[in-house]
Structure 1
Amino acid sequence: MPYVAHPDHHKKWCEHHKFRYVLLRTHSGYCIDGFIEHIDDHVVCLAVPAWPHDDRAFFGPGFYPYPFFPRRRFYRQVFPLGGLLGLSLLPFFF
Structure 2
Amino acid sequence: MENTMFDTQQKKQWCESHMNRYVLAQTHDGWCCDGIIEYLDDEVVCLAVPCGSDEWDGRAFLPFAPYGYPIYPYPYFPRRRFVRRVFPLAALLALSLLPFY
TM-score, normalization by structure 1 = 0.81
Contact kept in structure 1, 2:61 and 2:77, CA below 8 Å? no
The alignment status of 1:18 with 2:28, answered yes or no, reads: no
Distance in 2 separating the partners of 1:35 and 1:88? 11
Tell me the equivalent position of 1:51.
52
Question: What is the root-mean-square deviation in Å for CA atoms of aligned residues?
Answer: 2.2
Segments of structure 2 that go 5 or more residues without pairing to the other structure are 63-71
Distance in 1 separating the partners of 2:78 and 2:23? 26
Distance in 2 separating the partners of 1:77 and 1:55? 16
> How far apart are 1:53 and its partner, in Å?
5.3
- What are the residue-to-residue correspondences of 1:11-90 with 2, within 5 Å? 11-52=12-53, 54-55=55-56, 64-65=61-62, 66=72, 67=74, 68-90=76-98
Deviation by residue 1:27-59 (Cα, 9 ceiling, x = unmatched): 000001000010000000000000025338x79
> How far apart are 1:69 and its partner, in Å?
1.2
Segments of structure 1 that go 5 or more residues without pairing to the other structure are none
Partner secondary structure for residue 6 of structure 1: helix
The alignment covers a number of residue pairs equal to: 86
Tell me the equivalent position of 2:100.
92
TM-score, normalization by structure 2 = 0.75
